Structure 1
Amino acid sequence: MDMLERLARWRTFADDCLDGYPWEVEEFLMDVNSRSALQESMTASHEDSPVDHRVIAAELVAIDASVRAIFDIEAFPKMSRSEWWLRYVPSYAARDFCREFKSAYGVTIAARSKFDLDVDAMTQLSANGVAPADICLKVAEEQWYVTQRPALLFRACQRSLSIDRSARRALWSWATGKVSESDLRAALGK
């Protein structure tokens, strides 16, 4: 992975955190470690790379500032203060992440995320009798938060809709643009 790819991954992580980190603790730990890898690659390749380090450094400072604003819970005090991304965690995240983090590390994080809001709304639509395919299509048409990436949509549907393995495969194929709306309807039912 080159420096620009690492920077893009860190930017995505920052956006996820600002919206209330929707993934699991394992992904979180890999994401924060990606910041360390970015730091190392910037230091190691400063003179060898054709990439303009000033531009990357400026963008990194901006991304870091947005993340630092919400990374205000000191979860790992033995980590170096200079590697704040390894020492602190966000003050809020998705419910499942908060439960898992509390269980693993004994640290309480407030449950607040755009992901949970969408899951709750999708669950309510399902409880009101709206068909799973109609829920998926509504969410996509209205460009809800969970439609930003196929994996977010898939995760939200798993949590809010009662669908079997075959339907989940069709849902993933639809979310990644491999099957049509009519294929989704056929797989999930009208």
Structure 2
Amino acid sequence: MDLLERLARWRSFADDCLDGYPWEVEEFLMDVNSRSTLQELLAASREGTSVDHRLIAAELEAVDASLRPIFNIEAFPKMSPSEWWLRYVPSYAARDFCRDFKSAYGVSIAARSKFDLDVDAMTQLSANGAAPADICLKVAEERWYVAERPALLFRACQRSLSIDRSARRALWSWATGKVSESGLRAALGK
């Protein structure tokens, strides 16, 4: 990845954290380590490029500023205070992340996320008898939080719906635009 791609990834990570980080602990650790790489690349590429480093540095500072208020739980005190993204973790995240982080590192994080709210609502729809395909289509049509990205939608459906491996493949194909609504209905049932 080049500098701009890394910055975009850091921005996406920040958005995820602000909404309640919905991914796995391993992905979180890769994401925060990518911030260190971004810092190194920015410093190393100041010469001989056409990239406006002042704009990138300003954007990086803006993203960091959005994260600092929620990165307030000190999880790794041996890390340098100047690398706050490695030393602290968000004060809230998705339930699974919180459980796994507590298990791995002994640090408690509040379970609060848009992802969990959507999963809970999807689970309730399923418990009320809604068909899996109808739930997926409702989520997409109403542009719920989990419908913002195919991987989030897929993850939410896995957690809230009882579907087999074949249906999960069809779900992924639909979420990524490779299968139509009728194909989703055929795979998941009406």
Question: Do these two structures clear the TM 0.5 threshold for a shared fold by scoring above it?
Answer: yes
One-letter amino acid of the structure 2 residue matched with residue 132 of structure 1: P
The whole-number CA distance in structure 1 between the counterparts of 2:160 and 2:6 is: 32
Deviation, 1:73, is 0.2
Structure 2 unaligned residues grouped into runs of 5+: none
Deviation, 1:50, is 1.0
Deviation, 1:189, is 0.2
Within 5 A, what are the aligned runs for 1:45-56? 45-56=45-56
One-letter amino acid of the structure 2 residue matched with residue 16 of structure 1: D
The whole-number CA distance in structure 2 between the counterparts of 1:48 and 1:37 is: 19
Q: Which residue is equivalent to 1:186?
A: 186
Which whole-Å deviations, capped at 9, do the CAs of 1:15-63 have from their partners, x for residues lacking one? 0000000001000000001100100000000112211101111110100
The whole-number CA distance in structure 1 between the counterparts of 2:21 and 2:102 is: 14
Within 5 A, what are the aligned runs for 1:171-182? 171-182=171-182
Q: Which residue is equivalent to 1:169?
A: 169
One-letter amino acid of the structure 1 residue matched with residue 16 of structure 2: D
Deviation, 1:162, is 0.2
Q: Which residue is equivalent to 1:130?
A: 130
Deviation, 1:179, is 0.7
Helix, strand or coil: the match of 1:73? Answer: strand
Helix, strand or coil: the match of 2:134? Answer: helix
Percent same amino acid at aligned positions? 87
Does residue 61 (structure 1) correspond to residue 61 (structure 2)? The answer is: yes
Count of matched residue positions in the alignment of Structure 1 and Structure 2: 190
Within 5 A, what are the aligned runs for 1:29-108? 29-108=29-108
Normalising to structure 2: TM-score of the pair? 0.99
Q: Which residue is equivalent to 1:16?
A: 16
The whole-number CA distance in structure 2 between the counterparts of 1:164 and 1:22 is: 22
Q: Which residue is equivalent to 2:141?
A: 141
Structure 1 stretches (4+) deviating beyond 6 angstroms?
A: none
One-letter amino acid of the structure 1 residue matched with residue 187 of structure 2: A
The whole-number CA distance in structure 2 between the counterparts of 1:141 and 1:148 is: 11
Query: What's the C-alpha RMSD, in Å, of the aligned pairs?
Result: 0.4
Helix, strand or coil: the match of 1:80? Answer: coil
The whole-number CA distance in structure 2 between the counterparts of 1:76 and 1:102 is: 13
Which whole-Å deviations, capped at 9, do the CAs of 1:153-181 have from their partners, x for residues lacking one? 00000000000000000000000000100
The whole-number CA distance in structure 1 between the counterparts of 2:117 and 2:49 is: 43
The whole-number CA distance in structure 2 between the counterparts of 1:144 and 1:49 is: 40
Normalising to structure 1: TM-score of the pair? 0.99
Structure 1 unaligned residues grouped into runs of 5+: none
